[in-house]
Amino acid sequence: MTKQFGHELAFVKATRSDCDHKLRFFVPLHEMEMCIHATIGSITVLVSRGMIKHSPTVIETKLGPIKVEWEINGSNVDVCVEQFSPQFMNVNPTKDEVAKALNISTDALADFPIQSVSTSCYKLIVPVTSTDVLHNLQPDFDYLWKLCDEFNTTGFYPFALEPESGWSVQARQFPKRAGYNEDPATGVAACALGAYLTANKVFSPLKAGWNSYRIIQGVAMERPSVIQAETFLKDDRMTRTRVKGNAEENKHRGLA
């Protein structure tokens, strides 16, 4: 089914006693441990069909129990998916290697670090100088996947700041051997990017409590999505991460 639709799919199963539902996530070529936008889509369907009646609800995943909060807001189901404390790779590809993978010059890379970050699985966060650079990327995928293997990351997530729009960025996601070359919405990558933006103080001032970033993805694919990534600061330490969003149910084909 994943090959037929060319998207991630989530399957809902019976669950263990400390969770309400179990989700398994698949792309055309393999099973994934976590997929946030598929979680948001699944929760939307389960709530709209009366199969979940309380918030928060606890979802079993291959990474363990995940807390999900939801709220009906008019015709939408607003969903918030908790993730984990961020982890940052110390060894990352060089600018030259990343530029070669993305088919750009090193001058097109912005002056922030290239770093693989995880709040559930590692994504290589790559800052570029503008949204024009971002939208015109034409990666060398074989070399990109080779770097993913070498540096133990599951995809490239290049991003550019949104001009004059506050705490907002645009991003693209090139996953490693998923069965398609680009993804229009990637919650795990957006959450990792939120942790990266906080750790590098890309926007300021940061505050105690939740800091929120608007992640726009899929524009180059003409399938735009908006993801809200949030990080929680306590005593200047990032202790929690989460992603917010909603999905639209298509009664004939599942979720759009």
Beta strands in 17-56 (DSSP E): 21-27, 30-32
Distance CA 128, CA 198 (A): 17
Residue 106 neighbours by CB under 8 Å, 6+ apart: 95, 96, 99
- CATH numbers and ranges of domains, the chain: 2-82+246-255 (3.10.310.10), 87-245 (3.10.310.10)
With a threshold of 0.95, does the pTM exceed it? no
Give the residue from 84, 148, 153 showing the smallest Cα distance to 120: 84
The residue count of the chain comes to 256
Tens-binned pLDDT, residue by residue, of the chain (256 aa) = 444 444 455 555 667 677 888 888 787 777 877 888 788 888 888 888 888 888 999 988 888 888 999 999 888 899 999 999 999 999 999 999 999 999 999 999 999 999 999 999 999 999 999 999 999 999 999 999 999 999 999 999 999 999 878 899 999 999 999 898 999 999 999 999 999 999 999 999 999 999 999 999 999 999 999 999 999 999 999 999 999 998 876 654 444 3
| Token couple for 69 | 């909060």
